């Protein structure tokens, strides 16, 4: 946690001391290398020098420009639901970053809850995974999770998420900032979703929209505004509770996601009073020691409950023993879904997906 906080303080410019300045200079050198590599790669795809594979079924990519934490998982679930509304039998394909011994990562386990009986394959070679999921499960549409930068696979629709609490990753490429590529990557977007819109002011929303239009002047839709709604709580025994169960309670937030601060705000939105936090690196594999540390920290602060995400819970609950449960406060996962700011926004996304289903996927990369 200390390293993450220090790193963000340095790249955001919050720290202005001599050592932070030196750190930014070093990171800028590595940023130049990363930017050169991503620029050359994108240029090769743009010119048709690298092959884009058409897999014969509609492919919808959900991705983002920055590292982690924009809310892709609930959006993937929303796209799956919309495809089903259009009569499709979709499958999900993702890279499987930080998979555990079972070959699955936390995102796959969460999507198994959100999209029951929808096949999901994880493989660094997404083209091979898509072909396999079509052959093995007879899907007739594919949702590519975290696919904006994976340009080898043709797609009908590029959905790009922009988290308005930190939309452009401090305006620097990794590792100097949080961008995976230049912000001009937004020009490949067919549909832009601005997420966590309830956590900033109207003026900030307008500023982000203006910046998007300056970066991608050819984008001819208004970005769709998304908030993440807390639907209910899930305890370590998979029992569902209403979110008002923690209304007015003092809680600790423990999580290992890309944007923990956004989750903290979600916890506050349901009336919980967050008095302490324990953050781990994104996709962290919890150990029994980690769970004991969380419980010990929670007891020390005398909180009523520990709140985490469903992504964390699928890993924590296997380590949360009866002894832990008896000695510490309860641990609840906050189940979250994507909510549109208006019915028109939802219809815009539905119509865009419907239109994409008629396209030849080889036309986009």
**Percentage of the chain surpassing pLDDT 90?**
82
Question: H helices then E strands: how many in the chain?
Answer: 11, 12
Cite the residue boundaries of each domain of the chain with CATH code 3.40.50.300.
59-227+340-363
Rounded Cα gap, residues 359 and 158, in angstroms = 12
For 27-76, what is each residue's pLDDT tens digit? 999 999 999 999 999 999 999 999 999 999 999 999 999 997 889 999 99
Rounded Cα gap, residues 235 and 244, in angstroms = 14
Rounded Cα gap, residues 58 and 341, in angstroms = 27
**Among residues 195, 260, 256, which one has the least CA distance to residue 228?**
195
Position 16 pLDDT exceeds 50: yes
**Percentage of the chain surpassing pLDDT 70?**
94
Using alpha carbons only, what angle is made at residue 341 by residues 340 and 346, rounded to the nearest 5 degrees? 40
Position 202 pLDDT exceeds 80: yes
Rounded Cα gap, residues 32 and 26, in angstroms = 10
For 143-166, what is each residue's pLDDT tens digit? 999 999 999 999 999 999 999 999
Position 225 pLDDT exceeds 50: yes
Rounded Cα gap, residues 162 and 262, in angstroms = 13
Helices (H), 105-154: 106-114, 126-137
Position 362 pLDDT exceeds 50: no
Encode 277-331 in three state secondary structure: EEECCCCCCCCHHHHHHHHHHHHHCCCCEEEEEHHHHHHHCCCCCHHHHHHCCCE
Third-level CATH fold of 231-336:
Rossmann fold (3.40.50)
**Architecture of the domain spanning 59-227+340-363:** 3-Layer(aba) Sandwich (3.40)
Contact 65, 102 (CB under 8 A): no
For 116-149, what is each residue's pLDDT tens digit? 999 999 999 999 999 999 999 999 999 999 999 9
């Amino acid at each position: 946690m200390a390293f993450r906080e220090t790193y963000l303080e340095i790249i955001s410019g919050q720290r202005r001391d001599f050592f932070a300045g030196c750190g930014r200079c070093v990171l800028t050198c590595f940023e130049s290398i990363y930017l050169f590599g991503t620029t050359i790669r994108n240029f090769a795809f743009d010119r048709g020098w690298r092959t884009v594979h058409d897999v014969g079924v509609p492919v919808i990519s959900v991705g983002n420009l920055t590292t982690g934490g924009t809310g892709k998982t609930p959006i993937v679930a929303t796209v799956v639901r919309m495809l089903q509304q259009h009569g499709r039998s979709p499958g999900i394909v993702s890279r499987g970053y930080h998979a555990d011994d079972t070959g699955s990562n936390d995102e796959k386990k969460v999507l198994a809850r959100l999209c029951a009986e929808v096949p999901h394959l994880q493989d660094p070679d997404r083209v091979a995974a898509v072909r396999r999921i079509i052959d093995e499960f007879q899907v007739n549409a594919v949702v590519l999770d975290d696919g904006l930068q994976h340009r080898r696979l043709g797609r009908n629709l590029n959905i790009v998420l922009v988290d308005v609490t930190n939309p452009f990753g401090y305006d620097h490429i990794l590792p100097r900032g949080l961008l995976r590529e230049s912000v001009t990557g937004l020009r490949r977007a067919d549909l832009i979703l601005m997420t966590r819109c309830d956590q900033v002011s109207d003026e900030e929303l307008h500023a982000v929209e203006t910046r998007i239009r300056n970066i991608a002047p050819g984008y001819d839709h208004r970005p769709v505004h998304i908030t993440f709604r807390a639907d209910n709580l899930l305890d370590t025994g998979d029992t569902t509770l209403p979110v008002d169960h923690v209304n007015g309670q003092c809680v600790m937030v423990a999580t290992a996601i890309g944007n923990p601060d956004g989750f903290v705000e979600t916890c506050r939105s349901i009336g919980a009073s967050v008095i302490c936090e324990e953050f781990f690196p994104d996709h962290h594999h919890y150990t029994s020691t980690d769970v004991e540390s969380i419980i010990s920290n929670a007891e020390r602060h005398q909180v009523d409950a520990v709140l985490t995400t469903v992504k964390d819970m699928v890993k924590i609950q296997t380590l949360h023993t009866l002894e832990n449960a008896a000695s510490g406060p309860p641990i609840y996962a906050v189940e979250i879904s994507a909510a549109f700011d208006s019915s028109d926004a939802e219809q815009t996304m539905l119509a865009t997906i419907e239109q994409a289903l008629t396209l030849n996927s080889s036309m986009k990369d």
